Amino acid sequence: MRRATAWLGRRWWAIAVGLVFVYAFPHYPSIRSANELPRVYLVMAMVDDGTFAIDRGVRRWGTTVDVSPSRGHHYSNKAPGSSMLAVPAYVALKGATQVVAGREPTLGELVWTFRVWTGVVPTLIFLWLLWGFLARFTPDDGARRAALAIYGLGSMALVYSVLFISHQLAAVCVAAAWIVTVRVVEEPARPVRWMLVAGALAGAAPLVDYQAAFAAVPVAIWAGWRLVRARRGVAPFLWAAAGAAVPIALLLYYHDACFGSPLRTGYDASETFAGYHQRGFLGMDRLRWEAFTGSTVAPDNGLVLFCPALLLAVPGWVLLWRRGERGHVAVTAAIAILYLLFISSINFWRGGWQLGPRYITAMLPFLVPAIAVALAAAARWPAARGAALGLGGVGVFIYTASAVEFPHFPEKFKNPVYEVTLRLVGDGLAAPNLGMVAGLPGAWSLAPFAIVVGAAWAAVLLGPAGPWRPRLVAAGVAVAVTAAIVLAYGGFRGGGRIADEAYRRTVAPAVRSQMR
């Protein structure tokens, strides 16, 4: 008993974070998720039919705007990596439901399984990996935990882990490749064959989500420069190339089999969005101020409006630069700039229903070390630390609350935090969750979830053991800053009658139908 208690005492925070990811199942069949359904169809097609054509899924559950016709068949226009990863999960689920219930899995069972297997599990493993990696930048456990919470609970990393959408899985792949590469480059005693792993992860990133390839470029340039300077020979490059070759070859084979050319993607074959995808290079044709502001500071989709703590990366970069970590600053800042240019130049930058600019999710883990460094520096002044954590609290509030309600913000809502998330809570509506299993009704079923999130964030606010007064000052300032910002967001103009109609006809009925 004592051992169990001690074990829980050491790991309760990690358990709480894990529980946040699996507490609710926001699956609403009536909205017909264009991002998830084609991926589900592809998993089934590969296992049941031995093909990439998703005709059976389309016949059974209907088509979506993200299905592309090609040579008489239907195909998912998404990169196929997440569906390929879901294959063993589907085989296991199919066998289990057949043995236990004597039937095929339902669509809901499929979606939940694929979400957990390709989103939740990889992200939790990556958070563990990132925890150790952050020690390279700061020994401050409180700053590392805070940075981890800001990323894992208070950013797009959470919402795209609990959906069967590939953005977070791609971020995990390319960021894990970066971490492995850094360790090989900076630790001469580490065998260079680890670059096989780095290469495989980097190659898997675009197999999962095309734009994840952008993040690998600055990492590859930095690693190549450092390896050449250290005279490590050609072996690291050969190992990395060998690792990347398999997933890249698989992606090219998929394109050729489905769309007639290794270099032709499903977006090229798309009919619904052909006017967007076929302009410029991968939809990038010119820089747009509207796209930049709409993706960063707009109340309906702004990256730093929903997660203002990301701005802490800027002072973090300054501190790292002064410390002599100029290579890491160059790599991570270059990745941030690349993705901001990308989202500002694609003509379909809004990307439909999303909770933040989802196309740049792969950028986020590269900001975490700088955020941790900034938080560690602020720890010397309780008020400064509290203000920084207050920014983090905004993201934690918005993303955790939205993830257990309706993790999709349709374009018709101009202030979706209030018009969707908080309105659903006020109306007593919530996604199916563990609280409902325990018998709690409506929005009251979210009370245990709020307690878990509150406990995990309180541990961040209070920080490691030390004098109580500065810790309480920091926590008080943080709560005040978070509350002030969230309340201020209520002043943003909403979508008016159009948004109200969308809530009453689409959002509320979708959530209510799953509560029965």
In three state form, how does the secondary structure of 322-342 look? Answer: HCCCHHHHHHHHHHHHHHHHH
Dihedrals φ, ψ of 69, to 5°?
Answer: -80, 145
Overall size of the chain counted in residues: 516
- Is residue 8 over pLDDT 80? no
- On whether residue 487 sits in a domain, the answer given is no
- Is residue 276 over pLDDT 70? no
- On whether residue 280 sits in a domain, the answer given is no
Cα(450)–Cα(430) distance, integer angstroms: 13
- On whether residue 200 sits in a domain, the answer given is yes
Which residues, listed in sequence order, are joined to residue 313 by a DSSP beta bridge? Answer: none
pLDDT of 76: 94
274 pLDDT band (50/70/90 cuts)? Answer: low
Q: Two tokens at 172?
A: 């995990």
When pLDDT is averaged across residues 287-306 and rounded to a whole number, the result is 95
- Is residue 109 over pLDDT 80? yes
When pLDDT is averaged across residues 46-68 and rounded to a whole number, the result is 92
CA atoms within 13 A on the CB side of 208: 28
Cα(22)–Cα(220) distance, integer angstroms: 35
- On whether residue 211 sits in a domain, the answer given is yes
Quick count: other Cβ atoms within 10 Å of Cβ 47?
A: 14
For the chain, give the mean pLDDT: 94
Which of 481, 462, 222 is closest to 366 using CA atoms? 222
- In the chain, the number of structural domains is 1
Q: Are 69 and 269 a contacting pair, CB within 8 Å?
A: yes
- On whether residue 108 sits in a domain, the answer given is yes
- On whether residue 89 sits in a domain, the answer given is yes
When pLDDT is averaged across residues 369-391 and rounded to a whole number, the result is 97
Cα(175)–Cα(205) distance, integer angstroms: 9
First to last CA, the chain: 40
- On whether residue 196 sits in a domain, the answer given is yes
Instruction: Choose the weakest-confidence range: 84-88, 211-215, 464-468.
Output: 464-468
- On whether residue 265 sits in a domain, the answer given is yes
Instruction: Choose the weakest-confidence range: 253-262, 364-373, 465-474, 485-494.
Output: 465-474
> Which pLDDT tens digit goes with each residue over 458-478?
999 998 877 888 899 999 999
Boundaries of domain holding 64:
30-123+165-269
Q: Two tokens at 187?
A: 């630790």
pLDDT of 467: 83
